[in-house]
Amino acid sequence: MTRKPHILFVPVTVFRAGTEQIVLDLAERFGRDGYPISLAIPTGHPSLDRMAQESDALGAQTHRVGPLHPGDRNIRENFRVLTKLFKETKPDIVHLHMPYAPLCFESVVAAYRARVPVRIRTEQNPLGPLSAKQRLKMRVLDAMVHKIVFVSNSNREEHIQRGRAMGAKAMYIGNGINPSTIAHDCSAEVKLAIRKRLQLPEKAVIAVMVGTLEHRKGPIDFVKAARVAAQQNPDIHFAVIGDGDKRTAAEEMTKEYGLTERIHFLGRRADVREILCAFDIFVQPSHYEGMSIAMLEALAAGLPMASTRVAGVSDVFPNEEGALCVDVYDTEGLGGAIAQYAADPARRTKDGANSHNRILEAFTQEHIYQEYRTLFSKMSGGDRLNGSEG
């Protein structure tokens, strides 16, 4: 009987959020199929301690390392610790999930230095403009892995079009979620109960944003769009689920616009997957994304989506069929899209059903597991790219 390869997942991260859920989902699914699983989880934020506990609960071998993301991070110490970890645990595959490779490079270099047989890097965000130094660093990092997985086709194409020497290594595997964990098509009674618990209006159309309230997620843009939508539809309400350094600014702008009775800040919540079905419209005002997990969760809950044209949207909705999309920063257009959905319950129902079906078709935990299993099997079977050992 052929031995299944030992997989070591490394989430290069600051705190536990969508990407970290993807890592845990993959670890759980591979473990369930009999693969030896390990996770190297950074320190530095309390939510990562919870992630380590979740890793232990999966039966994975959990290793703690220092902060791996820019901030309170010691690059040389990280390189030393990770190299030692990779050499001692001897994984057949190291799978790194990275927000932005040029800023988190030592984990790739350590896997290369330890000569891990298969090294795979998943990029969770677009690369964006790179300096000459960063372009050089990317070429080196690309040469140190066997495959570079992008979670959206547009990010993969950008990587190749910018002249990466190792562009042939780039491939697309979208993100996915477990739809069975997300309440869908909840009854009127359940919806009412959730709204009462959240102290939200019982009968109003409510548009919701979900995510960390940081600049790139567009919370300020959401408030601006809400103002536009409220002017067109005096009955619509809005909700913000999440917290972050832009919350205060968003709340102050809400007061400035006279919308304190219309925009409800609900904070960070652990029950997002249970309560999404109580809303009517999902709004994604982001400036950039890879493939947002919050988006996939809201779509699985059956919400129609008004979104900026960020990466991942066109993968879920080819030709933008089934969603209303506007350019990034177009808060007037986004507000108009929200108002359009608010005034058209039939379209909300139609596009909401399409949202749910698209997730079931191609963006589930099982879908991405099967794609990664195929990739891992191919790479660990000796069919690796020529020259990838340097």
In a domain, 320, yes or no: yes
In a domain, 385, yes or no: no
In a domain, 2, yes or no: no
In a domain, 21, yes or no: yes
The residue to which tokens 């493939």 are assigned:
291
CB atoms within 10 A of CB 202: 8
- What b-and-e string marks burial along 32-70, b requiring 16 or more CB atoms within 10 Å of the CB? eeebbbbbbbbebbeebeebbebbeebebebbebbbbbe
In a domain, 386, yes or no: no
Residues 358 and 370 reside in one and the same domain: no
3-state DSSP helix/strand/coil % of the chain, to nearest 5: 50, 15, 35
pLDDT of res. 386: 36
Q: Estimate the crossing angle of helix 219-232 against helix 331-342, to 10 degrees.
A: 50
pLDDT of res. 130: 80
DSSP string, 32-76: HTT--EEEEEE-SSHHHHHHHHHHHHTT-EEEEE---SSSS--HH
pLDDT of res. 165: 52
pLDDT of res. 259: 98
Residue 174 CA to residue 151 CA, distance in Å, equals 4
pLDDT of res. 97: 93
Strands 7-11, 93-98: pairing kind:
parallel
Q: Which domain holds residue 276?
A: 179-362
Confidence (pTM): 0.91
- Number of domains forming the structure of the chain: 2
**Residues 341, 281 contacting (CB under 8 angstroms):** yes
In a domain, 1, yes or no: no
Can you give the CATH number for the domain in which 76 is found? Answer: 3.40.50.2000
pLDDT of res. 159: 83
DSSP element (H, E) containing 239: strand 237-241
Residues 168 and 285 reside in one and the same domain: no
> Which mean pLDDT values do the consecutive 10-residue runs of the chain (390 residues) have?
87 89 94 96 93 96 92 90 98 92 87 97 85 85 93 90 71 95 92 97 97 96 98 96 96 98 96 97 96 97 98 95 97 98 97 97 96 94 43
pLDDT of res. 389: 40
Residues 286 and 140 reside in one and the same domain: no
Residues 17 and 162 reside in one and the same domain: yes
Residues 48 and 100 reside in one and the same domain: yes
Residue 325 CA to residue 5 CA, distance in Å, equals 42
